[in-house]
Every structure is written in C-alpha cells, then in structure tokens.
Amino acid sequence: MARGAERRGFRQIQDVAEHFAIGSLRTLQVSMDPAEQLQQIYLAGFELKTFDRFPKCVGVVREECIALLVPSPDGLQMLGTPGWQIGEVMGVLTEVGGRQVFQAKQDMVEATPERLEKLRRFREELADLLQR
C-alpha cells in the first residue's frame, strides 16, 4: 500500500476557503454557550433550579411554569414540553375525566385558561431566549 507522496503525488495544497462563498459562511451555525444562555434567561426574570432526579438538566421557573433544559451540541434545548410546578415537581398537561389538568403523580392542578395562557407565554419567551 503506497503512503504519502507515492500514493497521491505532489500537488498544491487545497485551499478549502475557496469553496465557500462569503454568503454561505453567514449560514453556518455557531453553537451557543450554555453559560451565556443561562445568564440571558436569568436576566429575563426566570429562576434557575437543579434537581437531584435530573442531574443533567437545569430547571427554569417563572410564575409556576417550569421547563427542563439540557445541553446539546447547539446549546441548551427544552427537554419535552414545559409544565406547571406542583411542589418540587413538574405537572404535565393531560386530560382526566374530560377536563384538562396539570398532573404530577397523584397531585393535580386545574388547567384554567389563565394558566394555559401563562404557560404559552412562558414557552414562547423561553424558546426565543434559547434561539439568541
């Protein structure tokens, strides 16, 4: 098996920069720094929490709405769907007996229109902060 110059022969070193148009460089995504993202989230009025049950996650809470964030190659991302804080756990939106509730094991909180609107605003604002 030939190695080095024997196999490929001698030629000019390829300049990979010539293959990128300047406009396409703008479309390359730079991964976000999770520490900077957490700082922006905190400055926007969200509380940050850690949970023993979820050691790789950071909890983000505001007005009883809660989401779990996990690190990814592109920065922090929401794990699952945000929910309602019930004590020290997150209640997920579900339906019980034909009505919407936030449920965490046996504990339930009514999913009123006001709570659903709070959760919608929470999710949208947090998603916006994670995209910055």
Query: Taking the chain (132 residues) in consecutive chunks of 10 residues, what is each chunk's mean pLDDT?
Result: 53 45 44 90 96 90 97 93 93 95 95 98 97 86
Tell me yes or no: is domain 33-131 CATH 3.30.70.
no
Per residue in 83-110, pLDDT tens? 999 988 899 999 999 999 999 999 999 9
In sequence order, the β-bridge partners of residue 89 are 86
Selection from 93, 97, 56 nearest residue 77 by Cα: 56
pTM (2 d.p.) = 0.74
Q: Per residue in 117-128, is it b (16+ CB within 10 Å) or e — as a string?
A: ebbeebbebbee
User: What are the sequence ranges of the domains in the chain?
Assistant: 33-131
